[in-house]
């Protein structure tokens, strides 16, 4: 750290537990620690059988399950979850699943102020952030509220053993985007940069690893990296990259994690010369001579999705997409952002 640096950072009060095979026992222990007696389980329909097995130790403290999880958390889903929680007189939530399950739990907690015990089954990282998101009429709104920050998070790499390869890759790239953007937001500081650097190294190591596509060592590396990525994002906040992804995701219902992977290289290239310290940190964490080529090489090595077209985005909607993102201006960014800059980024991503 350079002499004379000044910064401030909020340390967020989430308890995290990490270990293979700990999920069922740790969930029950964290529910006990929080003093919860009427717990609502939030998960997707696909995840429900496993989620209910993992919460079996809760016994009659588990009073219901909400499984209408959808990505980008449509307002009607949040309202249905809130209504069920109120009907059951729930005093807390256990969320088991990827970022959409965590996001749904946060949306329920946003108005009901219920504590959350989160159990991630992807590499989203949102389980350690106080950021919520809701989509209304194709517009995604996000906000910051410590009331939605889970009180405890249980990280069990065994739960990700059956995550499909393409889903795991997309989820890990989403976490990489959290790390990269944490280097250049207005609230970035030496602590967030250190966490982001370590997270990026861990994520890169997990993605590049040899052996089985998702052996235990790689899952641990990826899950640890996503944890650090989430912490970095929570403290440094969102910038141009995340605002583009949130706007497009809500307007076009594009897959959240894959969208982050597609947009990231183009925002990185856009900012490259105006954020030299960030570019140097990205390159170093990736073991590359420069940030852009390092990220390109990583994408090529794992077969990552690279274009908006591949996500089902219609080129005819490009001008409208530029309008949707432009409506978010002004956006704090190392390089000043205008409509033409957004057009450059989206055009390249197309």
Give mean pLDDT, residues 198-222: 90
Shared domain for 146 and 245, answered yes or no, is no
Shared domain for 227 and 296, answered yes or no, is yes
Chain centre to alpha carbon of residue 42: 17
Shared domain for 179 and 318, answered yes or no, is yes
Q: Which residue, of 101, 136, 160, is where some domain finishes?
A: 160
Distance of alpha carbon 121 from alpha carbon 97, whole angstroms: 5
CATH number at residue 266: 1.20.1090.10
* pLDDT band at residue 14 under the 50/70/90 scheme: confident
CATH number at residue 78: 3.40.50.1970
Shared domain for 237 and 310, answered yes or no, is yes
Q: Looking at residue 325, what is its pLDDT?
A: 96
Coil, helix or strand for 4?
coil
Specify whether the backbone of 63 is left (phi greater than 0), alpha (psi in -120 to 50) or beta. alpha
Coil, helix or strand for 254?
coil
Q: Is residue 1 one of the residues assigned to a domain?
A: no
What digits encode the pLDDT tens for the residues 103-158? 999 999 999 999 999 999 999 899 999 999 999 987 888 899 999 999 999 999 99
Shared domain for 203 and 235, answered yes or no, is yes
Of 285, 153, 99, give the one whose Cα is nearest residue 207. Answer: 285
pTM of the predicted structure, to 2 decimals: 0.93
Shared domain for 72 and 121, answered yes or no, is yes
Q: What is the number of structural domains in the chain?
A: 2
What digits encode the pLDDT tens for the residues 296-337? 999 999 999 999 999 999 999 999 999 999 999 999 999 999
For residue 5, is pLDDT > 90? no
Alpha-carbon Rg for the chain, nearest whole angstrom, is 19
Shared domain for 85 and 195, answered yes or no, is no
- Do 97 and 126 form a contact (C-beta atoms < 8 A)? no
Q: Looking at residue 35, what is its pLDDT?
A: 97
- Do 143 and 156 form a contact (C-beta atoms < 8 A)? no
Shared domain for 299 and 344, answered yes or no, is yes
Coil, helix or strand for 10?
coil
What digits encode the pLDDT tens for the residues 241-266? 999 999 999 899 999 999 999 999 99
Domain that holds residue 138: 15-160
């Amino acid at each position: 750290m350079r002499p004379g640096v000044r910064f401030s950072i909020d340390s967020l009060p989430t308890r995290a537990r990490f270990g293979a095979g700990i999920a069922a026992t740790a969930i029950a222990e964290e529910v006990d620690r929080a003093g919860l007696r009427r717990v609502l389980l939030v998960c997707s329909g696909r995840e429900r059988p496993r989620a209910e097995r993992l919460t079996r130790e809760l016994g009659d403290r588990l009073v219901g399950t909400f499984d209408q999880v959808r990505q980008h958390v449509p307002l009607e889903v949040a309202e249905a979850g809130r209504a069920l929680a109120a009907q059951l007189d729930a005093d807390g939530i256990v969320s088991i699943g990827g970022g959409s399950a965590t996001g749904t739990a946060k949306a329920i907690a946003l108005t009901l102020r219920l504590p959350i015990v989160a159990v991630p089954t992807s590499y989203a990282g949102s389980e350690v952030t106080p950021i919520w998101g809701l989509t209304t009429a194709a517009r995604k709104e996000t906000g910051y509220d410590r009331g939605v920050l889970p009180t405890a998070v249980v990280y069990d790499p065994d739960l990700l053993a059956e995550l499909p390869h393409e889903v795991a890759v997309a989820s890990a790239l989403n976490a990489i985007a959290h790390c990269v953007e944490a280097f250049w937001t207005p609230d970035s500081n030496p602590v967030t940069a250190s966490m982001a650097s370590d997270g990026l190294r861990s994520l890169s190591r997990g993605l590049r690893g040899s052996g089985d596509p998702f052996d235990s060592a790689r899952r641990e590396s990826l899950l640890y990296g996503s944890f650090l990525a989430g912490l970095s994002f929570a403290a440094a906040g969102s910038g141009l990259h995340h605002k583009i992804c949130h706007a497009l995701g809500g307007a076009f219902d594009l897959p959240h994690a894959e969208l982050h992977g597609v947009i990231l290289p183009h925002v990185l290239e856009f900012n490259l010369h105006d954020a030299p310290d960030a570019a140097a940190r990205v390159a170093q964490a990736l073991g590359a001579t420069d940030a852009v080529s390092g990220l390109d090489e990583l994408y090529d090595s794992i077969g990552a999705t690279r274009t908006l077209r591949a996500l089902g985005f219609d080129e005819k909607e490009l001008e409208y997409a530029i309008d949707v993102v432009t409506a978010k201006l002004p956006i704090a960014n190392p390089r000043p952002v205008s409509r033409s800059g957004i057009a450059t980024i989206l055009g390249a991503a197309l």
